[in-house]
Amino acid sequence: MKFGTKTIHAGQQADPTTGAVMTPIYQTSTYKQASPGDFKGYEYSRTGNPTRNALEQNLAALENGKFGLCFGSGLAAIDSIIKLLKPGDEVISTNDLYGGTYRIFNNIFEPFGIKFHFVGMDDSEKIESLINKNTKMLWAETPTNPMLNIIDIEKLGHISKKHNLTFVVDNTFATPFLQRPLDMGADIIMHSLTKYMGGHSDVVMGAAICKDEKLAERLFAIQNSCGAVPGPQDSFLVLRGIKTLHLRMQRHCENGKVIANFLKTHPKVGDVYWPGLEDHPNHDIAKKQMDDFGGMVSFNLKGNKLEDAIKLVSTTHYFTLAESLGGVESLIGHPASMTHAAIPKEVREKTGVVDTLIRLSVGVEDIEDLVNDLKMALDSL
């Protein structure tokens, strides 16, 4: 099955009892047993629910994995994946990590005795120098947020294999439409389904996907024992969202390209970050491992005046000022005062998060309206 067919068919059949073509929302916590232990595959909805399971199988197929597991949020998925580890274990991760991931690693799991190292993941020597007998996991995110750096997944896959580590890739920004890390040496894919996969900014959910049966058994045990599962209604919404993933992503990429090129020509704009631009520092890796370059675009303003950035993000009309990304609607964000406000100015500026850095989640609206919206706001500065 090809990708676009999988989005619509994988894991889903007409409902055996009624013939309903769309997977019903099985809004039930429990299931009738004919005699004790004699049930039809489902006994309790924390352990398994048909709507959730359809979504889990669909996700496994999209990522070229075998097993999918859904969680109440992206962070709940991360929480469950880190619970594969035990006190004393060490994790090597990128220094350009989603803020919520950094927070759960440092504030929640460090006190339980798990040690996290944050490094620039383009530096293989640095990664290898940190590996010792306690190192158990590599954790990468690519493209990164908000600087849209690209990390070479295949290269990390080799390092991970050589040292027998579990290699996790947060595939939220790219989605399996653009890259499939399990094919490049990753062991577990993590998703915030809240973003592109759900695609309509109407649900919060996460997932873990893998190929290895032992790893899947352990993750299933954690999912069932810790219980951070999503409900059937939300599972239905994400299943429905995924049916148009390939169509939406195609348009996100087309619109992202036009916006990135428009920004490059505008006199008020400084640097533009989009992995599809030939002058992007990791353009070659992006070309190698991604099928297209996505709809996330970041840029800064010439002169770097904070008040210009504040005015810009408050002036756009179709680009709504809000957290999050990946929905059909365009969003605009100001990392220095929003997602990255907790990071000291000198630290964030070193990674490129200057006062006028602006992040766009380019939606699937008509591109003329989006360009005119940004032009109007930039011209007003």
Type of residue numbered 36: P
State both tokens at 236.
């239905």
**Exactly one of 98, 102, 196, 273 is catalytic; which is it?**
98
> Which position among 63, 90, 141, 292 is part of the footprint of ligand PLP (CB under 6 A)?
141
Which of 79, 96, 152, 170 is labelled catalytic?
170
Is residue 191 within 8 Å of residue 206, measured between CB atoms? yes
Binding ligand PLP (rule: CB under 6 A), the pick from 100, 185, 270, 352 is: 100
Q: Is 202 annotated in the active site? A: no
Pick the catalytic residue from 42, 46, 122, 288.
46
Select 79 or 90, whichever has its Cβ closest to ligand PLP: 79
Catalytic annotation present for 195: yes
Residue with tokens 């049916």: 243
- Give whichever of 50 and 230 is closer to ligand PLP, judged by the CB atom: 230
Kindly state the smallest distance separating residue 41's Cβ from ligand PLP, in Å.
28
Please identify which of the residues 195, 248, 348, 359 carries the catalytic annotation. Answer: 195
- 51 is an interface residue for ligand PLP by CB under 6 A: no
The verdict on whether 273 is a catalytic residue reads no
What are the strands of the beta sheet with 206-210, ordered from one edge?
A: 67-71, 206-210, 188-192, 166-170, 135-141, 90-94, 115-119
Pairing of strands 320-321, 331-333: parallel
Report cis status (omega within 30 of 0) of the bond before 87. Answer: no
Name the β-bridge partners of 188.
168, 210
For residues 82 and 112, the answer to whether their CB atoms sit within 8 Å is no
Confirm or reject binding of residue 298 to ligand PLP (CB under 6 A): no
Query: Which of 145, 316 has the CB closer to ligand PLP?
Result: 145
| Residue 149 within binding range of ligand PLP, rule CB under 6 A | no
Q: Does 73 sit near ligand PLP (CB under 6 A)?
A: yes
d(CA 312, CA 368): 18
Closest CB to ligand PLP: residue number: 74
Under rule CB under 6 A, residue 172 binds ligand PLP: yes
Question: Could you identify the residue written with the tokens 């995924």?
Answer: 242
Give me the sheet containing 269-273, strands edge to edge: 269-273, 296-301, 358-361, 331-333, 320-321
Out of 10, 61, 75, 182, the only residue in the binding site for ligand PLP (CB under 6 A) is 75
In angstroms, rounded to a whole number, what is the distance separating the alpha carbons of residues 143 and 96?
A: 10
Q: Is 99 in the site for ligand PLP (CB under 6 A)?
A: no
Least Å from the CB of residue 114 to ligand PLP: 18
The least distance separating ligand PLP from the CB of residue 206, rounded to whole angstroms, comes to 5
DSSP 16-38: TTT--SSPP----SB---SBTTB
Q: x/- string (CB under 6 A) for ligand PLP, residues 182-221?
A: ----------x-xx--------x-x---------------
User: In angstroms, rounded to a whole number, what is the distance separating the alpha carbons of residues 278 and 284?
Assistant: 8
Give the Cα separation of 349 and 309 in Å (integer).
15
* Three-state DSSP class for residue 269: strand
Which stretches of the chain bind ligand PLP, using CB under 6 A?
73-75, 98, 100-101, 141, 145, 170, 172-173, 192, 194-195, 204, 206
Q: Which residues are catalytic?
A: 46, 98, 170, 195
